[in-house]
Amino acid sequence: MKSEINFRAALMALLAGAIIMTGTRAASAGEVMTLQQALRLAETHNPQVRAARYRWNAAEHQIIQNYTPADPQFAYTNFDSWRGFLKDSGYHNITVTQSLQFPGKGLLQGTTARRAADIAALTYMAAVRDIRAQAETDYYQIQLDLALNDLMAENLTNLKRVLNVTKIAYMANLATQGDLINAKFALEADRESLRQQAVTILNDKTALNILLARRPDEPLEVDRKFDLAQFEATLDQVIDKAVSSRQEILQAALTEKNQQTAVALAQLEYAPDYTVGFGFDHWLIPSFAPQPNHTETWNALISFNVPIFFWAKNEDIKQARENLDAAGEDLESIRLQTEGTVTALYRQILRSRETALLYRNTLVPLAQQAFEVMLVAYEGGKTDFTTLISTLRQWHDARATYLQSVNALLAGKVALEQAAGGTLQ
């Protein structure tokens, strides 16, 4: 897992160097920013992703400390300076002590720290995944906004046709003045909706710019083409990928392993930690020494803690085991939730695609045909204005529903990949 994480990070860094300037030049030149360019800019520029990367680096720097023992203690003592501070001392002592854990504790603690760094790496990958999903969703939303804007503009053209036909019918006494007024009202109402849609487009572009760490008003053009390609992965394949690759599941698995290590460390509390040391004595006044002709002596020290309060350590072990059981349940819960989320999203994707194809291939053409027929019929006085305008609204609603179904399909794919832990391509 460690090598895989490092490989992914290195690959992201290499891709960033080749793509960042490309995406920036495209945006600054007013060219279309592709979806892939937007996603790579989000991966490299978004502050949340960068913060997660720094936290991962910080966790990496905490590993070595757990393998390293505490610093040794050095002490120098000056005794019996009878003529002032440090003058004419009677005795000097130098002592060095080193505190050590029971063998094995440091190794387990270092392993725990390494897993914590791996968890931080998975957190970084999850941040990249979520920001990519958000950027992709915002990109698709802008595509939908632009398509709806085109639809409103086309609907405005059709309303002008209706108004012209109504004027002709009114002059020929085939329509009432109320029909003419209603046609003008519908035209002006749609013009206002078109003006509001322009603001919506700008706001959604601002949302994507912020996600890419760009200025809110920086020019941004997106590819208008929708992708309705068949979703090839089966439900079982998506579930298998999610269970094996979703970052939250991998994090929970590492947390469970850390809790297993915590149980071992709790049991090692019975094993004594110890301190070793040595000292050197120099008796400057021979009469102070143990023997006048031996004014230099050496000392050795070893000490260890005695676990006489063992009942308290029993509670530590029980606590660690309870935490281990909780970690196991958390892991199982995330797995079940992931499988449920993936299954529901997969069904919804299939349903959205069926709806989009139905409207594109059948309902929208029928609605257009109905409007053209009703327009001719109204011009000939064979139908009323209410039926005509309702038929136009039906055509408009059918096309809007098609666009919304396409957007729901694309957003569903993004959500499914997010739930599965990464791209399904």
End-to-end alpha-carbon separation of the chain, Å?
A: 21
Q: Where are the domains of the chain?
A: 2-68+101-272+307-420
pLDDT in tens, the chain (425 residues): 444 444 344 444 444 444 444 444 444 446 889 999 999 999 999 999 999 999 999 999 989 888 888 889 999 888 777 666 667 777 888 999 998 888 888 899 999 999 999 999 999 999 999 999 999 999 999 999 999 999 999 999 999 999 999 998 888 888 888 989 999 999 999 999 999 999 999 999 999 999 999 999 999 999 888 766 666 788 898 999 999 999 999 999 999 999 999 999 888 888 888 899 999 888 777 877 777 788 888 889 898 888 777 777 788 889 999 999 999 999 999 999 999 999 999 999 999 999 999 999 999 999 999 999 999 998 888 888 999 999 999 999 999 999 999 999 999 999 999 999 888 76
pLDDT of 176:
85
Query: Dihedral of CA 308/311/317/319: which sign?
Result: negative
- State pTM to two decimals: 0.80
| 373 token code pair | 């027929």
pLDDT of 381:
82
Phi and psi of 138, rounded to 5°?
-65, -40
pLDDT of 187:
92
C-alpha pair distances (Å), 255 with each of 63, 326, 328, 375: 16, 10, 9, 68
pLDDT of 29:
45
Read out DSSP for 265-311? HHHGGGSPPEEEEEEEEEESSGGGSSBTTB-EEEEEEEEE-----HH
Query: E strands of 64-205, at which residues?
Result: 73-79, 91-100
pLDDT of 30:
60
pLDDT of 125:
95
Q: 107 with 263: CB under 8 angstroms?
A: no
C-alpha pair distances (Å), 177 with each of 155, 156, 174, 295, 377: 22, 21, 10, 125, 18
pLDDT of 77:
86
Query: Under 8 Å CB-to-CB from 391, ≥6 apart: which residues?
Result: 367, 370, 371, 374
Q: What is 2-68+101-272+307-420's CATH topology?
A: Outer membrane efflux proteins (OEP) (1.20.1600)
Q: 130 with 418: CB under 8 angstroms?
A: yes
pLDDT of 4:
47
pLDDT of 312:
74
pLDDT of 310:
73
